[in-house]
Amino acid sequence: MDRLRKIFLAIAALAAGGTVGANSQNVHITVDTSLADYILEFTCSGEEIDESRLRNSRLLRAQIKHHSGNSDLFTMDGFIEAAKAAASCEVRERDLYRFRYVVEDREQIARAIAFLKEHEAELSAFVVEKIAPYFPPQQQYSGEIVLVTASWSCGGFSIDGAFFVDVPCVAPSIEKDFQAVKILSAHETYHALQYAFFAPFDEDMSPIDTPEEAQAHLFLNLLLEGTAEFVADSRNVQGDGTLAVIFRDLASQGYARLASHFRWLDYALTVLAVDEDSNRRIRDMYHFGFSGSTGEKFYFVGATMARKIEAVFGRDRLVCVISLSPEQFVLAYDAALEQVDEEGDHVVGVSTLAAARRLGEKNNSYKNCF
């Protein structure tokens, strides 16, 4: 999961030793600063880096796994070379991991973290208010938030049950972007919770080599990003910080163009149905539909689906549906349209529905939630 908006979750926990009870009964979140601390430690130190420590870091391996899903340029070897340059207070010409921020803006990054520490209670309460209604109360969740100071995407990303936070992205205008940080925090916390109660899934695109796998992966991300956008509606962002403006612009355009975005979803499923280079096709369709640089079209499609399912069938049934295999989310939305057809609703395309039905034949049906 990667987007222009993925940034900051519960950094305020740092002041309390790294643990926040986002929900005092069943949700607990820890913040891991070890990787960020070490990068700040060796940057401009003039000393040799501990290459073994970096290569053996579970967190760094997960980070690079995520980045490499978008481009083969991201490798552990590349990170090590960039780290060696940063230790000498240098930034490589092709700064893939954006080490320039820790080399040039160390004080600004530290100030942003301090600000969020001071607003711990407000941030935590907001996150709980947004996510608690969409996490089964009978389940327990413990997860980790990993601070990073050298990564590819402005904001952050989630992978393998952990949320990676890009500290430099909000540092320049942290006060003006605090509302955006809160919305993003809820969005990303929900991503972390998805690993706990959604149907088992793997975001790694590398093994995908059939049309069915490619279509299933598109549905997975439609569910993951759509429900997170629904839980933390980015249209509600206030403030005039850089990130806040970006959020509002993306949401305004995304929701205004839903009719075409639903068609694009159908076109994407049609492209993925072709049995030719499925891995390349899913990477291209993922970038097209979920990247911030292309408008995050399918975030808003998925959020619209979740909103309709809840409106027609109720919140408990929505939570049940989203815990199933992702294609059931699409089928439940189609059922909601059949139940209550309102002006402005957007129908599911032929290719989308056909793919969902085919994939859903072997899985637990959404109907069992009703």
Distance between first and last Cα of the chain: 30
Which of 85-94, 197-206, 213-222, 262-271 is least confident? 197-206
Sheet holding 141-148, edge to edge: 2-3, 156-159, 162-166, 141-148, 27-32, 19-23
Radius of gyration over every alpha carbon of the chain, rounded to an integer in angstroms: 20
**Mode of pairing for the β-strands spanning 141-148 and 27-32:** parallel
Angle at 162 between CA 158 and CA 166, to 5 degrees: 60
Confidence check: pLDDT of 1 > 70:
no
Tens of pLDDT, residue by residue over 25-82, are 566 666 677 888 899 899 999 999 999 999 999 999 999 998 987 788 999 999 999 9
User: Is pLDDT of 20 > 50?
Assistant: no
| Mean pLDDT (whole number) for 268-279 | 97
278 has pLDDT over 70: yes
Residue 267 pLDDT level (bands cut at 50, 70, 90) = very high
Residue 351 has pLDDT above 80, yes or no: yes
Residues above pLDDT 90, as percent of the chain: 57
> Is 90 exceeded by the pLDDT of residue 162?
no
* Segment 164-208, tens digit of pLDDT: 878 788 888 889 988 888 888 788 888 888 988 899 998 889 999
User: In 46-105, where does DSSP find H-type helix?
Assistant: 51-55, 58-68, 76-87, 100-104
Would the pLDDT of 4 be above 60? no
pLDDT at 12 over 50: no
Q: According to the model, what pLDDT value does residue 257 have?
A: 97
Residues 294-313: pLDDT tens digits?
Answer: 999 999 999 999 999 999 99
Cα–Cα distance, 221 to 319 (Å, whole number): 16
pLDDT recorded at residue 51 = 97
| Mean per-residue pLDDT, 215-231 | 97
| Greater model confidence, 27 or 232 | 232
The yes-or-no verdict on residue 151 having pLDDT over 80 is yes
| Residue 14 pLDDT | 36
User: What digits encode the pLDDT tens for the residues 82-136?
Assistant: 999 999 999 999 999 999 999 999 888 778 777 777 777 777 778 778 888 898 8
Tokens of 11: 């950094």
